[in-house]
Structure 1
Amino acid sequence: MRVISCIAMEHNLWLVLLAALMCVTGCWVTIGLFDRSRKTTGVQMKGWLFLTAVAAGSSIWCTHFIAMLAYQPGAPITFDPVLIMASLVIAIAGTGLGFTLASGKSRRLAPEWGGVVVGLAISAMHYTGMMAYHVAGIVEWDGPYVVASLVISAVFSALAVGHAVRRPYRWSHYLAIGLLVLAIVGLHFTAMAAVAVTPLSFISTGTNPDILVAMAVAVAVVGLIVAATGFASYLIDERGRLESFERLQHLALNDALTGLPQPGLLQRPP
C-alpha cells in the first residue's frame, strides 16, 4: 500500500505512464536482441550483445530518469550532471556484463547468475541516479524498503534472463519481457517508497516544473529512438538471413548455368 500510495500521491501520473511505455518498449527490444545474440557466434555474437547492452542500459536509464522526474517531493530540486551520466554508463556496462554471462554455456546456472548481475546493475544505476537528485530538504531512507528493492530487482531479472535463455514454455519470450519490466518497475517504485523528504522552507531555488516535464518528454523521445534503432538492426539482419536462405534454396533447386529447375526434380517418383 505504501508503494501504491507513493505512485498515486507523489508522482505525475502522465509521466509515470510515459515511463511505463519506455520500459515496455525497451524490454521488448532488449529481449529480442539478446535472443538474436544467442543464435550467433564469434564477432556477430559480440556485436549483438553490444546492441543488447545499449538498448537495455539506455531504456532502463530513460525509464528511471522519466519516473524520477515524475516524482513530486514538494521541494525544489536540482541535478548533478556528472552522476547522471555515470548512472547511464553503469546501466549499459552492467547489463552488458550480465547478458554476456548469461549467454555462456560453461555453467549450469549461468543465465540466472547473469540475470542477477543485470538486476544489480539496474539497482546501482537507480541509486547513483538518486545521488544526482538533489532535493532542497532533509531526505531520509527506510532501510527495509531499500533492501526489498534490491531483492526485487535481482530476483525478477534472474527469472527474466533464465526464461529468455531456457525457454521452458512456448510463451517464455513474452514472459521474459514481463519479468524484466517487473524488475525495473518494482525496483524503482519500491526504492522511491523508501524516500521521505522534509522540505526546507528557506530554500526556494530549483528547476522549473515545466522544464522537468519537457526534459522527461525529450528523454523519452531519445530512448524510443535508441530502441527503434535496435529493432531496425534486428529487422535488417532478419531480412538478410531470409535472402541468404532463398538464394541457397534457389541454387539447390535450379541449374547454376541456365537458372532452370533441375531435370531430376521435375520427375515424379513412380
Structure 2
Amino acid sequence: MKFLESSSIICSSELEKTVHYLFDRILKSFFIFIVFISNFSVWGEGTIQQFVIGKSELLIYSRFSPKQEQTPGMEYFGNREYRTEKFSPASTFKSYLALSLLENEVVSLSQKLACSDPHIVGSPRMLNLREALFYSSNDYFLQTFRKLGKSKLEKTLSRIGYGEMPGEPTPDKTGKLPANWWRGTEALKHGGSLRLRPGEIHSIWVASFWTSPNRKSKMDKNLLETWMQSLFWSECSEKGILVYGKSGSWEKSFWFQGLLVDSDLHQFTAITFLNRSSQANRSQTIQKFYDLIECPMPKLE
C-alpha cells in the first residue's frame, strides 16, 4: 500500500516557497491522504483503488497470513495525531465479550434472546449472537453477562492480551487491563473506563486471528471458528472474500474493525477505521469502510 501526501517543492525564491506552503495548507484542509492500494488480491490483480482519508479519520491496515512466523505489519493513514491519543474502544469491545461468552459456553450461535434496544429497528426482537453483534445490541450482552460474570470476562481478556501495551503497539505484544477499567454492567457496551490507542485496538484485533505456531498465546481452533461465525458481516462474491467485523460508537468516535478473508483462507486483511468527523455516524462510517473494499454494504436494519 502506498500513499500520496502533498509536499512543498524546493524553490529558488522565498515567494515561491510561501506560495507552495499556502497551497499545501489549503490542500490539507480538505484531505490528509489519498491511499492507493495496488496489486492486491482482494481488489483483483493490477487494480488500483483510490480512497480519501479525511483530516478527522485514521485507518490502520494489516495484510498477513494467519500462520506466518513474522509479526504482521501495521500501516497508518490519516490523522497521525490520533496515533498517540487514547479513545474508548466503544462497541468493538463487544467482540471480546462475545468471545468470552462462547469460551465459557454461556451462549451458542443458534440461541436467541428477546432484546429491547431503542436503536434497533423492530425492537423488541429475537436476536442470536451474530445478530446481537451486527446490530450492536446492548440488551443482549446485559442479559448474557449475568451468567458470565466479571472474573471470567477478565480471564478471557487477560489470556488474549487485551488492554494497554508498552511502547509502540504491535500484534506480538501483550496488553494489560488497567486495574480501574470496570465501571459496572451498564458500561460494558463501551468497555468501561478503557481508553486505548488506535494501534492497541488494531493490534489486538490482528493478534486474535494470527495463529502462528510460534506464538505463546493462541486461541483454540474450534473457538476461533465459532467466534468468527459470530463476527460475520457479509459475503463479497465480486471479490471472493468474506467480511467479518464490528462497529463501535462512543464519545464522538465511530469505529469499524473489519477482517477480510480470502476464499482460500490463506490471506487475511485487517482494517481498523476511526472516524471523528463532525458529520460522522455509525452507518456513514460502515459505508466508508465498504467503499474502501469496493463491496456492497449489507442492510443495517
Range of TM-score over shorter length? under 0.3
Give the structure with higher Rg (CA).
Answer: 1
After TM superposition, the score normalised by the length of structure 1 is 0.27
Compare the two structures and name the one with the higher strand fraction: 2
Q: Which has the higher contact order (CA 8 A, sep 6+)?
A: 1
